[in-house]
């Protein structure tokens, strides 16, 4: 059944399906209905990581190092956990600045350096071409092996075949055609290939299913499950060793360094960058991929050890290469369909890797190697050609073909040599050199162009010396003495024991020295050397991408002049005039303009043109091209420093805000206190008003009531009328008194009262007051006793005011004395109070007395002691407050001493030697009134 034509037919049918899927994907993408815009396709396409080196090679590695094949897949599993930070950032940067390859990424980060882009491209090509040739070899070998079915023959002699009969050549040509068709069919500024991604995702499904099918067949078809395979293997001492880490020193360090190496590779392999960054449709797809991709890696590795052990047990003679077990085990069991499926699985693993890798490399070669060189060739007059958009795809097609032919040539030359076996890891170690420049580039603004160039060169040189050179020597292309004796016999320089370092396997050894050189020089040169302004601005844009992609004011770091008439044709030359026109028009519409004529050639437009160009020819070349039509002034260092200062400004600003808010807080506290005071005053005013109103209404009510009675009853007796009128008069007087006193109090309190201080003899004042109130005493039959002292000093006070106080106190005493038995005593004497000589006046009665609880209250306005409900108020309630104010005005004080039932004594003192302040005030008042 498995004749040659059947195999070829199946292979081409498979490629045809891929082609159809890719074509359909492109069609759907063009129609705006992407079939790859979901995280599952994205995760599957990431599995292009698993090439034939995984499909066939894992078993081979497992056969020699047991569980040692796993770090290659554990590393990526660990690394994707960090993708949330790292890959998101790289994707964001790449989308913002239209970056289309890893070389472009590094070149763009370090000041759009053409030199760096070229260096990265060269390293990538040199590192990856052997890897491509490994795929060609694997596909070719599997084809050859399958062709010999039912015999199992190792294709040792394949290389001996003439070119025309070599399947690898045709495979290479077919793959080149496929890559050219879907990789360079059109020039897209984003360099995304939707159809291709769909095909890659399909390939990932096919290779996984094929491997699982073979694994399941071996495990459950040939044996009865995992248990039997392992228990059978335990019996063979040679196989038992494969199931543990060998105890000889260095195995764990190999494990660790391979894990580390594969962590870097998943970031740095050109095809991984292409699929995970450039072909990424939506940043959010990263989320699911973070666990789906490791799951894929786990699944494709589950059956590796069973297949290995099964293969080793079934062909113990060693006639069959372990690398081919996946294919030869089904063949040995006469499972033709399964063998064919395994072949297709290997084919899918190989083609996916080769197609994507060559496309990624061709973009780099075209944009970072060929274009910069071509643009410099003045004799080509490339700058003057109207439309070179056709040139770019042509260069890429040529590059794809060249890379595949290079791979094929390597395959022919290396053949079965050692170089091919170790190729996978050697490639990994080569691309891992990009890691310091990438990680440093996105997290450290200090990394410079010179640092990256020197570090990368040093790392690459060490890689070539410690890994590539020995592989050449082992392949017989260089004398083995180089390894055993060292170059020119210098043992310290032995490539695999550099400076005498032993105990590491060759990969760990290379990784240690190359990373040491790479990182050390990158950091060292960056720290020592000066930076160009362009580098600084790019560094900021990359490191702070999450801050800058939204609303970043680009014009601040760009000064210059350009015209749309220059930019449009320039872009058109590389993208094609129509596409460029469309792009510019779309840009104009986004700006809210209707036509191209309204476009202003500002910094944003120049940047737009440059990113469009960058998508087509790489950022470094785009920079050069744009600079050729734009009169650009380099951004001043100040402006760049401004951007860098942004963060500190923000910090300073936030400190200011904090300060302000603290001030605000204290102001608020003060305001709150003031507000509380105001509220209290307001409440007091309200109380006062309601009291005043009440006090005024009481006499008014009785006046009105009696007046109305007089009005309505004309036949009222005269006596009655007189009585009523007397009440009205009395109440009116009370009202007048009340109003006068209120005005008086208000005057005193506001400081507007008139004072006429003179030197007084208090004896006289008291006698006059007693005279004024003698009528009251007589009417009520209250006895009054005077105890005066003739020889008291004179005091400075207002005579009328003082009389007001005394009359008030005396009339109060009369008012509260019982008629007939009341006795009031008024006494004048000297006293010492507060270290000062004073005159003291006491007015004592034998009335009902005042409870100590009310001693303060009676001096408040309108407060009268007694039950206001049962007994009619006897005064205005303002006399005592006014009296106290008057006494206090002259520097004295007024108080009461009393107990309920034992009379009351109202006393006040007036200082004789007035305190200077008060006396001056009084003197001023006296002077004022006398003039």
Complex with other proteins: residue 308 or 769, whichever CB lies closer: 308
Minimum distance, C-beta of residue 244 to other proteins, in the bound complex (Å) = 5
What contacts 186, CB < 8 A, 6 or more positions away?
A: 393
Joined tokens for residue 221: 């078809």
Residue 698, φ and ψ in degrees, nearest 5: -55, -55
Q: By CB under 8 A, is residue 77 in contact with other proteins?
A: yes
What contacts 745, CB < 8 A, 6 or more positions away?
A: 861, 878, 881, 882, 885
Q: By CB under 8 A, is residue 439 in contact with other proteins?
A: no
Minimum distance, C-beta of residue 328 to other proteins, in the bound complex (Å) = 23
Minimum distance, C-beta of residue 78 to other proteins, in the bound complex (Å) = 5
Q: By CB under 8 A, is residue 84 in contact with other proteins?
A: yes
Q: By CB under 8 A, is residue 654 in contact with other proteins?
A: no
Nearest to 253 by CA among 495, 442, 435, 509: 509
Q: By CB under 8 A, is residue 81 in contact with other proteins?
A: yes
**In this chain, which stretch among 103-111, 246-254, 828-836, 901-909 interacts with other proteins, using CB under 8 A?**
246-254
Minimum distance, C-beta of residue 434 to other proteins, in the bound complex (Å) = 20
Complex with other proteins: residue 179 or 297, whichever CB lies closer: 297
Q: How far apart are the first and last CA of the chain?
A: 142
For residues 269, 273, 274, 276, the Cα torsion angle rounded to the nearest 10 degrees is 130
Complex with other proteins: residue 84 or 477, whichever CB lies closer: 84
Of the candidates 105, 255, 460, 862, which one interacts with other proteins according to CB under 8 A? Answer: 255
Q: By CB under 8 A, is residue 80 in contact with other proteins?
A: yes
Minimum distance, C-beta of residue 301 to other proteins, in the bound complex (Å) = 8
For residues 303 to 322, the per-residue mask of contacts with other proteins, x marking binding by CB under 8 A and - elsewhere, is: --x-----------------
The DSSP bridge partners found for residue 841 are 828, 908
Joined tokens for residue 570: 């320039």
Question: How many secondary structure helices (H) and strands (E) does the chain include?
Answer: 39, 9
Minimum distance, C-beta of residue 243 to other proteins, in the bound complex (Å) = 4
Check if the beta carbon of residue 97 is closer than 8 Å to that of residue 619. Answer: yes
Strands (E), 748-800: 757-760, 783-787, 795-798
**In this chain, which stretch among 238-246, 266-274, 416-424, 673-681 interacts with other proteins, using CB under 8 A?**
238-246
CB burial of residue 658 (10 Å; 0-12, 13-18, 19+) = exposed
* Cα–Cα dist 427/127, whole Å: 5
Q: By CB under 8 A, is residue 87 in contact with other proteins?
A: no
Check if the beta carbon of residue 35 is closer than 8 Å to that of residue 41. Answer: yes
For residues 264 to 303, the per-residue mask of contacts with other proteins, x marking binding by CB under 8 A and - elsewhere, is: -----------------------xx-xx--xx--x---x-
Within a 10 A sphere around the Cβ of 674, how many other Cβ atoms? Answer: 10
Complex with other proteins: residue 247 or 867, whichever CB lies closer: 247
Of the candidates 6, 9, 20, 243, which one interacts with other proteins according to CB under 8 A? Answer: 243
**In this chain, which stretch among 228-236, 554-562, 752-760, 883-891 interacts with other proteins, using CB under 8 A?**
228-236
Q: By CB under 8 A, is residue 230 in contact with other proteins?
A: yes
Q: What angle do CA 415, 308, 43 make, to 5 degrees?
A: 85
* Cα–Cα dist 283/273, whole Å: 14
* Cα–Cα dist 848/867, whole Å: 13
Joined tokens for residue 313: 């047990």
Q: By CB under 8 A, is residue 443 in contact with other proteins?
A: no
Check if the beta carbon of residue 792 is closer than 8 Å to that of residue 828. Answer: yes
Residue 500: left if φ>0, alpha if ψ -120 to 50, beta else—which one? left
Residue with tokens 């320089």: 493
Complex with other proteins: residue 511 or 735, whichever CB lies closer: 511
Q: By CB under 8 A, is residue 235 in contact with other proteins?
A: no
Complex with other proteins: residue 81 or 491, whichever CB lies closer: 81
For residues 508 to 547, the per-residue mask of contacts with other proteins, x marking binding by CB under 8 A and - elsewhere, is: --------------------------------------x-
Mind giving me the DSSP string for 34-68?
Answer: -SS-SHHHHHHHHGGG--HHHHTHHHHHHHHHGGG
Minimum distance, C-beta of residue 305 to other proteins, in the bound complex (Å) = 6
* Cα–Cα dist 36/202, whole Å: 11
Q: By CB under 8 A, is residue 82 in contact with other proteins?
A: yes
Q: By CB under 8 A, is residue 647 in contact with other proteins?
A: no
Q: By CB under 8 A, is residue 650 in contact with other proteins?
A: no
What contacts 265, CB < 8 A, 6 or more positions away?
A: 75, 76, 272, 428, 431, 432
Joined tokens for residue 710: 């007089």
Q: By CB under 8 A, is residue 179 in contact with other proteins?
A: no
Complex with other proteins: residue 287 or 634, whichever CB lies closer: 287
Minimum distance, C-beta of residue 295 to other proteins, in the bound complex (Å) = 5
| Strand, helix or coil for residue 15 | helix
Complex with other proteins: residue 543 or 599, whichever CB lies closer: 543
Q: By CB under 8 A, is residue 150 in contact with other proteins?
A: no
* Cα–Cα dist 98/116, whole Å: 18
Q: By CB under 8 A, is residue 804 in contact with other proteins?
A: no
Complex with other proteins: residue 306 or 447, whichever CB lies closer: 306
What contacts 894, CB < 8 A, 6 or more positions away?
A: 805, 859, 880, 883, 884, 887, 888, 906, 907, 908
Complex with other proteins: residue 240 or 723, whichever CB lies closer: 240
Mind giving me the DSSP string for 385-400?
Answer: -S--TTHHHHHHHHHH
Joined tokens for residue 806: 């005394």
User: What single-letter DSSP state applies at residue 432?
Assistant: T
| Strand, helix or coil for residue 72 | helix
Q: By CB under 8 A, is residue 234 in contact with other proteins?
A: yes
Q: By CB under 8 A, is residue 46 in contact with other proteins?
A: no
Minimum distance, C-beta of residue 325 to other proteins, in the bound complex (Å) = 18
**In this chain, which stretch among 224-232, 370-378, 683-691, 913-921 interacts with other proteins, using CB under 8 A?**
224-232
Complex with other proteins: residue 244 or 690, whichever CB lies closer: 244
Cβ density class 28-39: b for 16+ within 10 Å, e for less = bbeeeebbbeeb
**In this chain, which stretch among 27-35, 248-256, 823-831, 876-884 interacts with other proteins, using CB under 8 A?**
248-256
* Cα–Cα dist 274/193, whole Å: 10
Q: By CB under 8 A, is residue 689 in contact with other proteins?
A: no
Within a 10 A sphere around the Cβ of 429, how many other Cβ atoms? Answer: 28
Of the candidates 12, 40, 85, 443, which one interacts with other proteins according to CB under 8 A? Answer: 85
Complex with other proteins: residue 139 or 263, whichever CB lies closer: 263
Complex with other proteins: residue 78 or 147, whichever CB lies closer: 78
Q: By CB under 8 A, is residue 786 in contact with other proteins?
A: no
Contacts with other proteins: how many residues (CB under 8 A)?
39
**In this chain, which stretch among 67-75, 346-354, 445-453, 678-686 interacts with other proteins, using CB under 8 A?**
67-75
| Strand, helix or coil for residue 789 | coil
Q: By CB under 8 A, is residue 642 in contact with other proteins?
A: no
Minimum distance, C-beta of residue 452 to other proteins, in the bound complex (Å) = 26
The DSSP bridge partners found for residue 829 are 840
Q: By CB under 8 A, is residue 216 in contact with other proteins?
A: no
Complex with other proteins: residue 86 or 692, whichever CB lies closer: 86
Within a 10 A sphere around the Cβ of 916, how many other Cβ atoms? Answer: 9
Q: By CB under 8 A, is residue 228 in contact with other proteins?
A: yes
* Cα–Cα dist 109/90, whole Å: 11
Binding site for other proteins (CB under 8 A): 67, 70, 74, 77-85, 225-228, 230-231, 234, 240, 243-245, 247, 252-253, 255-256, 259, 287-288, 290-291, 294-295, 298, 302, 305, 546
């Amino acid at each position: 059944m498995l004749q040659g034509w059947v195999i070829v037919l199946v292979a081409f049918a498979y490629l045809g399906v891929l082609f159809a899927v890719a074509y359909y994907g492109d069609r759907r993408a063009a129609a705006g209905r992407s079939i790859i815009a979901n995280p599952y396709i994205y995760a599957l396409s990431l599995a292009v990581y698993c090439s034939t080196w995984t499909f066939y090679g894992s078993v081979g590695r497992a056969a020699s190092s047991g569980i040692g094949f796993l770090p290659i897949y554990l590393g990526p599993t660990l690394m994707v956990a960090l993708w949330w930070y790292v890959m998101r950032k790289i994707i964001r940067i790449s989308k913002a600045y239209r970056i289309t390859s890893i070389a472009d990424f590094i070149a763009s980060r370090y000041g759009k350096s053409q030199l760096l882009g070229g260096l990265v491209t060269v390293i990538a090509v040199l590192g990856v071409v052997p890897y491509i040739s490994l795929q060609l070899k694997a596909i070719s070998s599997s084809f050859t092996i399958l062709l010999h079915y039912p015999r199992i023959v190792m294709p040792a002699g394949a290389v001996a075949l003439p070119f025309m009969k070599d399947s690898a050549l045709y495979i290479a040509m077919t793959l080149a055609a496929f890559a050219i068709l879907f990789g360079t069919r059109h020039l897209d500024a984003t360099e995304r290939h939707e159809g291709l991604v769909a095909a890659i995702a399909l390939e990932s499904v096919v290779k996984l299913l094929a491997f699982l099918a073979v694994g399941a067949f071996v495990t459950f078809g040939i044996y009865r499950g995992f248990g039997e395979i392992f228990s059978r293997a335990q019996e063979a001492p040679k196989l038992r060793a494969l199931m543990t880490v060998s105890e000889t020193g260095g195995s764990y360090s190999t494990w660790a360094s391979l894990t580390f190496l594969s962590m870097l590779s998943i970031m740095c392999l050109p095809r991984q960058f292409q699929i995970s960054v450039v072909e990424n449709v939506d940043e959010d797809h990263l989320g699911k991929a973070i666990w789906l991709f490791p799951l894929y890696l786990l699944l494709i590795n589950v059956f590796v050890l069973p297949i290995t052990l099964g293969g080793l047990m079934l062909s113990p003679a060693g006639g069959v290469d372990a690398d081919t077990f996946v294919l030869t085990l089904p063949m040995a069991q006469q499972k033709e369909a399964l063998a064919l499926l395994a072949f297709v699985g290997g084919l899918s693993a190989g083609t996916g890797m080769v197609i994507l890798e060559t496309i990624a490399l061709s973009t780099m070669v075209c944009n970072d190697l060929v274009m910069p060189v071509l643009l410099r060739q003045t004799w080509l007059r490339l700058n003057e050609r109207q439309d070179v958009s056709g040139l770019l795809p042509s260069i890429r097609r040529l590059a794809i073909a060249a890379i595949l032919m290079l791979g094929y040539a390597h395959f022919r030359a290396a053949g079965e040599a050692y170089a091919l076996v170790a190729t996978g890891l050697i490639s990994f170690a080569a691309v891992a050199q990009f890691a310091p420049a990438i990680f440093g580039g996105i997290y450290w603004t200090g990394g410079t162009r010179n640092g990256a160039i020197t570090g990368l060169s040093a790392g690459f040189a060490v890689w070539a010396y410690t890994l590539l050179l020995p592989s050449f020597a082992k392949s017989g292309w260089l004398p083995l003495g180089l390894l055993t004796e060292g170059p020119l016999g210098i043992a310290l320089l032995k490539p695999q024991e550099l400076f005498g370092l032993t105990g590491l396997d060759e990969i760990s050894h290379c990784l240690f020295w190359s990373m040491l050189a790479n990182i050390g020089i990158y950091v060292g040169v960056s720290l020592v050397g000066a930076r160009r302004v362009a580098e600084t601005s790019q560094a900021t844009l990359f490191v702070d991408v999450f801050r800058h992609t939204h609303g970043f004011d680009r014009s601040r770091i760009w000064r210059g002049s350009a015209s749309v008439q220059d930019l449009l044709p320039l872009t058109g030359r590389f993208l094609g005039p129509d596409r460029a026109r469309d792009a510019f028009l779309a840009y104009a519409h986004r700006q809210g303009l209707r036509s191209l004529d309204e476009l202003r050639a500002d910094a944003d437009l120049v940047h737009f043109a440059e990113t469009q160009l960058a998508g087509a020819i790489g950022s470094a070349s785009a920079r050069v091209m744009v600079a050729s039509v734009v009169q650009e002034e380099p951004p001043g260092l100040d402006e760049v420093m401004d951007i860098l200062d942004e963060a500190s400004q923000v910090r300073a600003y936030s400190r200011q805000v904090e300060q302000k808010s603290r001030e605000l807080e204290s102001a608020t506290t003060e305001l709150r206190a003031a507000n509380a005071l105001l509220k209290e005053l307001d409440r007091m005013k309200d109380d006062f008003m309601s009291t005043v109103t009440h006090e005024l209404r009481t006499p008014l009510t009785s006046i009105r009531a009696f007046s109305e009675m007089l009005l309505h009853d004309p036949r009222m007796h005269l006596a009655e009328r007189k009585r009523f009128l007397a009440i009205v008069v009395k109440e009116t007087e009370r009202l007048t008194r009340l109003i006068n006193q209120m005005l008086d109090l208000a005057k005193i309190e506001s400081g507007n009262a008139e004072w006429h201080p003179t030197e007084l003899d208090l004896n006289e004042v008291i006698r006059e007051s007693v005279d004024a109130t003698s009528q009251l005493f007589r009417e009520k039959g209250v006895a009054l006793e005077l105890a005066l002292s003739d020889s008291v000093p004179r005091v400075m006070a207002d005579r009328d005011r003082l009389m007001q106080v005394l009359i008030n106190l005396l009339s109060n005493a009369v008012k509260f004395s019982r008629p007939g038995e009341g006795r009031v005593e008024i006494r004048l004497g000297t006293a010492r109070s507060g270290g000062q000589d004073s005159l003291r006046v006491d007015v004592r009665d034998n009335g009902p007395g005042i409870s100590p609880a009310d001693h303060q209250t009676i001096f408040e306005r309108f407060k009268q002691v007694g039950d206001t409900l049962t007994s009619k108020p006897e005064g205005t309630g303002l006399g005592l407050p006014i009296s106290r104010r008057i006494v206090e005005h002259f520097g004295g004080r007024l108080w009461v001493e009393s107990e309920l039932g034992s009379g009351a004594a109202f006393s006040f003192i007036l200082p004789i030697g007035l305190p200077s302040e008060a006396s001056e005030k009084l003197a001023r008042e006296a002077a004022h009134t006398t003039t």
